[in-house]
Amino acid sequence: MRVGYLARSAIGAGAAANALRPLSASVAALPAFFSGWLTSELAPQLIAAHAADSAWQIARGRTRTRAGRAGLVLSAGAIAGLAMTTRRALGARAVVDDVLKELTDAIDAPDATHAAAAVVPRPWRQIARPFRLRRVGVRRTAGVSYGPAGFRNRLDVYAAADVTPGDRRPVLVQIHGGAWVAGRKDQQGLPTMFERAAAGWVCVAPNYRLSPRATWPDQLVDVKRALAWVREHIDDFGGDPGFVAVTGGSAGGHLAAMVALTANDPAYQPGFEQADTTVQACVPHYGVYDLANTAGDKRARVRTHFLSRAVLKRPVSDTDAFEAASPLCLVDADAPPFFILHGSNDTLVPVAEARRFVARLRATSRQRVLYAELPGTQHAYDVFHSIRSTAVIAAVGRFLDWAHADATARQSPRPSDGTADRQSVAPGSLTAL
């Protein structure tokens, strides 16, 4: 039993150290992610577990031995590391709030300014129950077919129970991740969708074909097909086909960015070339933006070879194919407003990749480009409720409300005194955090 306590304490101390400073070598990226992700997002619960374990061991007199004392020291170290991790998580709110301040100077959209400035209390009850993802008052319509590929062409719709057909609520499409080879619509993005649905939005989560059975760009074609379905049918669920935003994490963040940057491209719309696949805002989390690895990042080489064999099924030397699948290489002035979020401790997709994507967007796009770099944050931080994820999800909601209000203001009749020519938004100039 004493050895068990020592082992638990040692594992906890190691996990806390990895959460604070994760292993970055390619071979350790995946285990470093899993350990760092769960430890970072569940730090308060783990503090309580270590404290309870140590109190029990002390009460039973099991810390009088050398192994027991060593376990107590390691447990104290784990608690200290977890406390530092919790402090970083608490700081995420200040980071995203600071980023959103850029939206409050909108000229022609007072409703948009109000939406961006609104701050909601921290939902401690959700944080205390991290895996309770459902929301009272939100209904899900599951398994709606949007294409010919069976289960992989089905989607779910989330909306508040009082939303009725024809209500014209703004729409958010959530694209799951999973390295283009795994995942499904009901496994990711649930906290965001339930929050947005409770706030009056209509949310759509599609499945899409996966590699290695599917070959790129099948994934993108399916997401665009789902978007075409939204344009045609979302009014039946109370959504507004005139305002559609897109979000997703990891491979889903990549697909969200690709959707935003390849609007109405017939190469990705076989058989539905005339469908409108534009989006009015894009919020990628910890996305993959440089499949071609144009920066020559050593840690991205493993990913490039994986993509070559399993997803694109093209040789690494086929740079055109990889660049055509890289949002970084597709940025143009017509990109919609972006809010990009990435963790500084991400071991699966290095944060430098997000920084390069943001820099290129800001240099090119005519729309807002917001970027929140979350300190001490791993990949997949928004999958369940935590101190960090609730702050980030609230900020994403404020950005989306701003984007919707701003788009509505743009569509409204303008005065004829010359002010109609003014830009209500300008390219983002926020300093990278």
Rounded CA separation 196/397 (Å): 7
Q: At what angle do helices 66-100 and 43-59 cross, to 10 degrees?
A: 160
Catalytic residue (one of 50, 254, 379, 385)? 379
| Upper half-sphere CA count for residue 388 (Cβ side, 13 Å) | 32
As beta bridge partners, residue 154 has 145
What one-letter code names the amino acid at 77? Answer: G
Catalytic residue (one of 53, 240, 290, 346)? 346
Catalytic residue (one of 250, 308, 365, 386)? 250
Rounded CA separation 356/155 (Å): 32
Max intra-chain CA distance, the chain: 84
Look up residue 130 and give its two tokens. Answer: 């991290």
Is 379 marked active-site?
yes
Active site residues: 250, 346, 379
